[in-house]
Amino acid sequence: MKRKLFTVWVFAKLNTRRFFRDRLALFFGIAFPVIFLFVFGGIFGKTGNTVTFHVALINQSDSQFAKQFTQRLTDSKTFKVDKNVHSLAEANDKMSKSQVDATIVLPQDFGTIKQGQPYPSGQAQVLYTQNSEQGGQTLTTVLQSEFKDINAQFVKNQEPFTAVGKQLNRKSLTQFDYVFSGLLGFSIIGLGIFGPINVFPELKKQGILRRLHTTPITVWQYFLSTMISQAAVGLVSLAVLFAVAIVVFHLKVVGNYLEIIPFLVLSIVAILGIGLAIGGWAKNERQAAPLGNMVVFPLMFLSGTFFPRFLMPQWLQTVSGYLPLTPVIDGVRLIATEGKHLTQIGPQLGLIGIWIIIIYIIAFRVFRWE
């Protein structure tokens, strides 16, 4: 038995060294997921829930109040005023090109003190196109809220009905938290499926697997050595993703790394079984590539890799919940960003375990040395 395990260890080291010596494999296994992380992190990695409106501001009034209000909007974090717009025609042109969300117009009498009135007044206009009706109406509501604070300085009145906000003593997940766990799943797919379906047909084509078959090595030894090497490579790739997410996008990992690591290893082994089944069955790249894509694309788009599953219809959430990659992504999110323990994610571990049994039974049955 020791001799058999020694053979497994030797092949595992050979496979690992071959990966780190292959520049193309390094790019797609490590660099490519990092590129995706920067792309999606740039979109969803912003912290905070502040809504910003990109607007054009046309001030047609010479009143002191209008100048002060213009400065207030310019300094506001809610409004991003385009300072390159100086006329209504320029504003209309930018709205037609969707370069600004809407245009705020302060008419000539805005901020002036009318006869018999002790304080300035005026009505600002919010102009928006048909395609941005919802955003324009929201902007109007926000602007009315701005005026409400200003009006309170001039007119004191007691409102019979009010509302008060209360912060709950808990944190909600950000969009980046969901995206990051999905990108980890994407990286595991690349290592576990694309790796074997690209390597195995090539080894068969070169006759390497056929020559290995003439040696005492068995299928389980070859599979186990591949599992060990892919787990080692996968942990390096995922560690790079974690490091970039923490340093660049300030990801808050609240889970225990000693629980994250074994879960990731189990996940890599589960998804690797799919690659071993496809790559072991296919005789060449023409057979492996189409079958691999048929399996990978549903996993990527239905398991929450690029967008949360809760955005899907309920029936699709139910169906996608049984895919092998879904418990992987859900489990990573629950442990890393929600602080759950392995004992608290029994459904995810159970589903992964079931898929490991099913996938590897298929992989052993369909594997061909040539």
pLDDT recorded at residue 95: 83
Query: Residue 164 above 70 pLDDT?
Result: no
pLDDT at 265: 92
Residue 353: per-residue pLDDT: 94
Architecture of domain 53-154: 3-Layer(aba) Sandwich (3.40)
Residues 180-198, mean pLDDT to the nearest whole number = 84
Across 86-95, 118-127, 322-331, the highest mean pLDDT is recorded for 322-331
Mean pLDDT within 17-34: 78
Residue 356 has pLDDT above 90, yes or no: yes
Q: What is the mean pLDDT of the chain?
A: 82
Across 185-208, average pLDDT: 81
The pLDDT, as a whole number, for residue 168 is 41
Tokens representing residue 216 in the block: 């005492």
Virtual CA dihedral for 189, 190, 193, 197, nearest 10 degrees? 170
- DSSP assignment of 304-329 equals TSSS-GGGS-HHHHHHHTTSTTHHHH
Q: Tokens 């809407």: give the residue.
A: 102
CB 299 within 8 A of CB 324: yes
Gap between the Cα atoms of 161 and 159, Å rounded: 6
The ranges of the chain annotated as CATH 3.40.1710.10 are 53-154
pLDDT band at 158 (very low <50, low <70, confident <90, very high): low
Q: What is the pLDDT of residue 171?
A: 55
Q: What is the rounded distance in angstroms from the CA atom of residue 129 to the CA atom of residue 141? A: 16
Distance separating the N- and C-terminal Cα atoms of the chain:
27
* Neighbour count for residue 220 (Cβ, 10 Å): 12
Higher pLDDT, 320 or 19: 320
User: What's the one-letter identity of residue 194?
Assistant: F
CB within 8 Å of 274: residues ≥ 6 apart: 192, 193, 295, 324, 359
Instruction: Tell me which of 210-214, 239-243, 257-261 is least confident.
Output: 210-214
Assign 203 a pLDDT band (cuts: 50, 70, 90): confident
Contact 196, 276 (CB under 8 A): yes
Instruction: State residue 297's pLDDT score.
Output: 86
- Are residues 104 and 143 in contact, defined by beta-carbon separation less than 8 angstroms? yes
Give me the mean pLDDT over the 340-368 stretch. 91
